[in-house]
Amino acid sequence: MPQHDYLGRYHRQMLLPEIGDSGQRRLNDASAVVIGVGALGSVSAELLVRAGVGRVVLVDRDVVELTNLQRQTLFAERDVGQPKAQAAARRLRSINGDVRVEPRAMDLDGLTAQDLVAGTDVLIDGTDNFETRYVINDAAIAAGIPAVFGGAVGVRGTVVPVVPGGPCLRCIAEEVPSGTDTCDTVGVFGPLIHLVAARQAAIGLRILLGLPVDARLESVDAMTGEWRRLDLSAARDDSCVCCGQRRFEFLSGSAGGRAVPMCGRASVHVTPASQRGIDLSAVEGALSPYGRFAATEGLVRGEFAEEQGDGGAAIGMMVFGDGRAIVTGTTDPARARSIYAKYVGG
């Protein structure tokens, strides 16, 4: 970037003593991976890109839905039906063309996490389920990479950083919590997303600048404006299965493939045993005799004419370029896997 453009774009934050010229150059040389580009992830990613973090990788397995637009600020109506990672990347590149924005329309699991995070400087959690957060936690600890976790449901949100030498998620809760509320069961207040994601981005930038980060849980009530902070420094457990014993159980992967119901939707995410690149034009041709299917950017989508799902709903399917699919109209993993095997194979 030419020097005058560099100074013009980042001048206001370079005035800050915590950043200055050297800090800005450090950000420009840094890399961040944002996992989940929904509500929290889209806001965090935008803040990192605007701040001039040199490389930002966007990971998401889903497509943009109309219900996302209430709070997921990178997307517009024209993006509905498109892979989130790619739609977000287009928007972020238009904001700052000097940042390398790399979309990854993929599922993060134990088999893909380690390669994905290798060589990055910070992980930002924008996911909507604890299982994936524990995969991120294992990958972060295994690679010695800081991670910043966030959650937002209803009007309350939380932020927890995990840094080398401090407590990890499994120090705080060894097992994956069950029965937790979700945005789809209790709703979510739009402004809460920005409060939580802004803190995640701020902590992520502190990490990239080499500034100290405290081990603490921050929670906020977006309706009242009340912030609470809980010191977690004493939560570090030397016997922790992850950071203490260094047993990374959530990186064991899903070698046999999996079919997982998606949060709050009549749909199932199907991952084949081997994620591989497939010819989407061939998939479109194979599916077209059975319904109305069309290839769009990065996927083939449509509905089957004679396949019925839950309550008589039409079965639909979106097939991605890496072989994954989202089967809509059912919450039954066995049914979704059967549909996938019948029409796509594997």
> Which residues form the catalytic set?
183
114: left (phi over 0), alpha (psi -120 to 50) or beta: alpha
Return the closest-CA partner of residue 129 out of 190, 71, 62, 45.
62
212: helix, coil or strand?
Answer: coil
Pair type for strands 226-231 and 216-221? antiparallel
120 token code pair? 């990055």
DSSP E strand boundaries for the chain: 31-35, 55-60, 100-105, 122-125, 147-153, 156-162, 216-221, 226-231, 258-261, 267-271, 291-296, 299-308, 314-320, 325-328
Of 38, 89, 90, 45, nearest in space to 64 by CA: 38
Structure tokens at 189: 């207040």
Of the candidates 170, 173, 165, the residue with the CA atom closest to the CA atom of residue 146: 165
Phi, psi of 28, rounded to the nearest 5 degrees: -60, -25
CA–CA separation, 15 and 28 (whole Å): 16
